[in-house]
Amino acid sequence: MEPWTIRGRSALITGGNAGIGRATATELARRGADVTIGVRDRGRGEAAVAAIEEETGRSVGILDIDLASIDSVRTAAERFAADHPRLDVLLLNAGVFYGRHRTTVDGFEATIGINHLGHFLLAGLLFPRLLAAGAARVITVASSAHHRPRTFDVDELPDWRGRYRGMDAYARSKLANVLFATELARRTAGTRVSSYSLHPGMVSTRIAQDGDTVLVGLLWKLGRFRFLGPTDGAATSVMLATAPDIEDRSGRYFSEGREARPSRLAQDPQIARRLWRRSEEIVGLRFRPDR
């Protein structure tokens, strides 16, 4: 078995045009990976590609994808699969924070729809390409906010019951991220596909400023002096994409470069399995058989 190296490997990064995603894409390209960034805004995506290529001297691909739309995710997966016979690293990085209740084009509560369900569908559609890679990694950018929920009613998804609170919705979506990564690791045991989740640290990005709440965006911006920059925030994603000999840590959660303990709910295998089955029902995809 050849030792893991990122050089020459195919990497797809959602939300790769800004913040942590762009910093991760830049570093992986610098290290010799064949990087594609998934973007919702084509103009911003093209600008990011040009900047990354100028900085690294390597060609970078671009994939149009709106994680708020099942049709868009399916189309994006088909286009990527048509151009790439294998996928070595799938980095589920894109994320949103909305202070007011919003829905996706498919009628899902938008935070869980984009942060979890869109990524779940993308990973499922591209899973054959991950298997074809021989050795592959799925890396999910979560958050320490996943510790916030005290309960998680999987049957409630994809809607929101009761009074909507932006931070609660965001925290629930990040808990779903960690549960997904853990359950994916369980279901891929015996293959060479491994799965990890991570908290990047408190990072200065546009995640709240691109939402629809002026106050939250302002507070986020004012707090920047206490936050990491995107390059430092990308360090854990880069480590998980490049480090050799971490396959035996598949399913683990990392925080700022080190393995960390996830929340009690995130370690509940029954919740993880129920979330998986419910996610399959919602997006209309049988990802992996029950094991």
- Answer whether residue 2 is part of any domain: no
- Answer whether residue 133 is part of any domain: yes
Q: How far is CA 278 from CA 15, 189, 224, 249, in A?
A: 25, 21, 37, 26
- Answer whether residue 67 is part of any domain: yes
Choosing from 98, 170, 196, 253, the catalytic residue is: 170
- Answer whether residue 3 is part of any domain: no
| pLDDT over threshold 50, residue 68 | yes
- Answer whether residue 234 is part of any domain: yes
- Answer whether residue 289 is part of any domain: no
- Answer whether residue 291 is part of any domain: no
Verify whether residue 170 is a known catalytic residue: yes
Q: Which domain holds residue 23?
A: 10-283
pLDDT (average), residues 260-287: 96
- Answer whether residue 290 is part of any domain: no
Number of domains in the chain: 1
CB under 8 Å to 222, separation ≥6 — which residues? none
The CATH number that applies at residue 261 is: 3.40.50.720
Q: How far is CA 99 from CA 144, 164, 278, in A?
A: 18, 8, 25
Task: For residue range 99-143, list pLDDT tens digits in order.
Answer: 899 999 999 999 999 999 999 999 999 999 999 998 999 999 999
| pLDDT over threshold 90, residue 63 | yes
Q: Whole-prediction pTM value?
A: 0.92
Give one DSSP letter per residue of 127-152, joined into a string: HHHHHHTSSEEEEEE--GGGGS-S--
Q: How far apart are the first and last CA of the chain?
A: 26
Task: For residue range 252-266, list pLDDT tens digits in order.
Answer: 999 989 999 999 999
